[in-house]
Homo-oligomer: A and B are copies of this chain.
């Protein structure tokens, strides 16, 4: 068989080989282990380089910068102006009008006393105003986390039978959610949130919204008993097993208000200037509904009402945290799951609005702010809060300038707690249900799902899996499925990297994929392969097989065309970001096999990391440094030179087929 190893490599070739002469692939200078470790840790945990601004500053300035880091209000506070305040006042009052009914509704969703919704809109926004770096986030409770709390805690403790324990566990879960959120920020592991991909969130949100809407059937139909499960099958069975209990008064009232709310939103969408119609609609619904019930005494005719709400500000709840309870594990688990979900929503929302206004949000700093606000919230009779999308969008539309709008909202809620709670006595629950349904319908973003389908089928698949998982299984199942699928996709990208055959683009020295550029031409006697991922243990066996198959296929093709034999295999390493020891072994094996069948392995453009490692493993010596080129063009030129200078010996037998040779 023709063996490229037999040929002497002419020392003059470098100068013949065109541009390659003076530009060999460099072996990067060795770096001390500690320095490279430091760099890796820095890039992994501190990609935003938070200490950059502290550099070369006097100690006093460093202290101020440090305080400003944790309390951004110290940074923007001094620059705060009356004009800003006017805008913040209007937006603050607007979100307060939304916060009160929503707070009560979501607390019901979490099976908690309705007053907690108001408490949770008082203390946490104040904390966030001090520590948060977003100017548009409006703090409050969210539907999905409320539902998750109810479903997870409800697995072990029945809220109706044991309300005190359930309440205390909710505080404990909130405490752990806050600790977990703040800890993620402190140890700078904020990137965990990134593993909830856009597609996951779209599907998950839509699924949760569907489930929440289904749960509202209880309020809409005025049912007393209802399933504790959240999946669509259980809910439907529960609803249709008690058709005789349906209250038409309740259902009619609910549908009217739902229609009103959707109409208000429709108009606001048509004319963004009328955003306040939509923003005020929940409060007007509550006022109208309460008045209606009060005047018609509908509470005696099947329309359930909220009933008594305690007057006064948040009582302390720090002593209610159940650290010694047998349900502690449950509380921690609930806290971590709801904390991550809430964090993902809060950060995504903050980031979206920051993008609109072109300012910067520091994910880790936000985590510390949201975490602290939940820790303090758990001490003051609040449950899990974050920055809900609906409320923040209203805040943004109302023209908020800074986090002062949160302070305004908190004061409005405080005044409500101090003086206005009796007014909510007659608020019909069905109106709250209508408010929740209206809000939820906005979260089912079918357009985003269609967009996903058009651009990336796998993302669509992840999205639909999350949706189906949530709707037919449970909120956790949906989440786990979607995250697992997303991670599997990443692993699959590594485990099954694409390998491309490159060809020469006519009239250039460029080599590109023949699939992508159909006019790219093969080079006689040379097979050029590109590997599109790092070579790791997870793909080294696959690549070994795949390279073998490419070579076999190429040899079959050449044989059927009657063209000259394959002599060189060039691996373009441009896209190989890294390699590990399994990967190097794979290359060594491929090299050995190629040698044995008389083919020559050539590398093109290995990166710094790859070059460093294959040099340490002595693979550079094995392959010969003169067979590693800076570009595919150089490599092809050298191979062609060799092919024309030294005519290949004829093959001695027909068994040149690569993977079957014995």
In the complex, whether A515 has a CB less than 8 A from a CB of chain B is yes
Of B48, B359, B455, which one neighbours A613 at CB under 8 angstroms? B455
A531-547 vs B, Cβ < 8 Å mask (1 yes, 0 no): 01110111111100110
Q: Are A536 and B607 in contact (CB under 8 A)?
A: no
Which of B48, B199, B455, B549 is the one whose CB lies under 8 Å from A616?
A: B455
A495 lies within 8 A of chain B by Cβ: yes
- Beyond A574-B575, A589-B355, A613-B455, whether A28 also contacts B539 by CB under 8 A is no
The answer on a CB contact under 8 Å between B660 and A537 is: no
In the complex, chain A residues 583-613 whose Cβ is within 8 Å of any chain B Cβ = 584-585, 589, 592-593, 596, 607-609, 611, 613
- In the complex, are the beta carbons of B581 and A455 less than 8 A apart? yes
A418 located at the interface, meaning its Cβ lies under 8 Å from any Cβ of chain B in the complex:
no
Q: Are B199 and A580 in contact (CB under 8 A)?
A: yes
Return the chain B residue nearest A584 by Cβ. Answer: B455
Closest to A357 in B: B662
Least distance between A367 CB and chain B CB atoms (Å): 13
| Complex Cα–Cα for A1 and B228 (A) | 59
Contact across chains for A516 and B581 when beta carbons are under 8 A apart: no
The answer to whether B516 and A608 have CB atoms under 8 Å apart is: yes
Q: Does A26 contact B (CB under 8 A)?
A: yes
User: In the bound complex, do residue B575 and residue A575 qualify as a contact, i.e. CB atoms below 8 Å apart?
Assistant: yes
Stretch at the interface among A239-247, A298-306, A436-444, A486-494: A486-494
CB of A415 within 8 Å of the partner chain: no
Task: Identify the closest chain B residue to A197 (Cβ).
Answer: B537
Q: Are A516 and B26 in contact (CB under 8 A)?
A: yes
B608-A19 in contact (CB<8A): no
Which residues of the other chain, B, contact A492 by a CB distance below 8 angstroms?
Answer: 44
Q: Indicate whether A83 reaches chain B with its CB closer than 8 angstroms.
A: no
Q: Which residue of B lies closest to A18 (CB)?
A: B508
- A232 close to chain B: CB less than 8 A: no
The yes or no answer to A310 lying at the interface (CB within 8 A) is: no
How many residues of A are counted as interface, with CB atoms below 8 angstroms from the partner's CB atoms? 97
Query: Chain A contact residues: over half helix, strand or loop, or mixed?
Result: helix
Is A613 touching B456 in the complex (CB atoms < 8 A)?
A: yes
Q: Complex: how many Å from CA A198 to CA B191?
A: 28
A492 to B191, CA, bound (A): 10
Given contacts A194-B539, A355-B589, A359-B662, contact A581 B199 (CB under 8 A): yes
| Contact for A577 among B457, B493, B538, CB less than 8 A | B493
A571–chain B nearest beta-carbon distance, Å: 14
When distances are taken between beta carbons in the complex, the residues of chain B under 8 Å from A611 are 516
**Chain A window 478-512, contacts with chain B (Cβ cutoff 8 Å), 1 for yes, 0 for no:** 00000000110111111111100000010110101
Distance between A273 CB and nearest chain B CB, rounded to angstroms? 24
Residues on B with beta carbons closer than 8 Å to the beta carbon of A505: 23, 630
Given contact pairs A496-B44, A577-B533, A199 touches B593 in the complex (Cβ within 8 A):
no
A169-206 interface mask toward B, CB cutoff 8 Å, 1 = contact, 0 = none? 00000000000000000000001001111111000000
By the criterion CB–CB under 8 Å, are A360 and B455 in contact?
no
Hey, which chain B residues are within 8 Å of A513, CB to CB?
607-608
The chain B residue sitting closest to A192, CB to CB, is: B495
C-alpha spacing A608/B515, complex, angstroms: 8
Complex Cα gap A589–B353 (Å):
12
The verdict on A537 contacting B495 (CB below 8 Å), with A47-B542, A456-B613, A513-B607 known, is no
Question: In the complex the two chains form, what is the Cα distance from A515 to B611 in whole Å?
Answer: 13
Min C-beta distance of A436 to chain B, whole Å? 29
> Which of A196, A581, A609 has the most chain B CB atoms closer than 10 A to its own CB?
A581
Pairwise interchain contact A537-B194, C-beta atoms closer than 8 A: yes
Instruction: List residues 27-64 of chain A with CB under 8 A from any CB of chain B.
Output: 28, 33, 36-37, 43-44, 47-49
Contact B451 A581 (CB under 8 A): yes
Residue of B nearest to A347 (CB): B541
* Contact present for B454 and A541 (CB under 8 Å): no
The residue among A540, A546, A548, A574 with the most chain B CB atoms within 10 A of its own CB is A574
Contact between chains at B355 and A592 (CB < 8 Å): yes
A645 interface residue (CB < 8 Å to B)? no
Q: Which residues on B sit within 8 Å (CB–CB) of A459?
A: 580-581
**Residues of A397-445 contacting chain B, CB below 8 A:** none
Q: Which residues of B are found within 8 Å of A507, using beta-carbon distances?
A: 19, 22
The reply to whether A358 and B43 contact each other, CB–CB distance below 8 Å, is no
In the complex, the answer to whether B490 meets A494 with C-beta atoms within 8 Å is yes
* A532 engages B457 (CB within 8 Å): no
Alpha-carbon distance A191/B196, docked complex (angstroms)? 26
Task: Check A14 for interface membership: any CB of B closer than 8 A.
Answer: no
Which residues of chain B are near A494, meaning CB under 8 Å? 490, 493-494
**A631 at the B interface (CB under 8 A):** yes
Q: Inside 8 A of A191's CB, which chain B residues have their CB?
A: 495-496, 538, 541-542
Q: Closest B residue to A362 by CB, please name it.
A: B545
CA gap between A545 and B354 in the complex, in Å: 13
- Assess whether A452 is interfacial by the CB under 8 Å rule: yes
**Which chain A residues (609-662) contact chain B, with CB distance < 8 Å?**
609, 611, 613, 616-617, 630-631, 659-662
The residue of chain B having its C-beta at the shortest distance from the C-beta of A512 within the complex is B630
- Is A582 interfacial (CB 8 A cutoff)? yes
Query: Is residue A363 contacting chain B, with contact meaning CB distance below 8 A?
Result: yes
Q: Does A578 contact B (CB under 8 A)?
A: yes
Contacts of A197 in B (CB 8 A): 536-538, 580-582
Q: List 9 A-B contacts (CB under 8 A).
A: A23-B508, A44-B492, A47-B546, A197-B580, A198-B537, A199-B582, A455-B584, A516-B607, A533-B534
- Contacts beyond the supplied A355-B589, A357-B662: 17 A-B pairs with Cβ under 8 Å: A23-B508, A23-B510, A47-B545, A194-B495, A194-B540, A197-B536, A197-B538, A197-B581, A454-B616, A455-B617, A456-B580, A459-B580, A490-B494, A497-B577, A516-B611, A532-B575, A575-B577
Closest 6 CB pairs of A and B: A197-B537, A516-B608, A532-B577, A575-B575, A198-B582, A459-B581
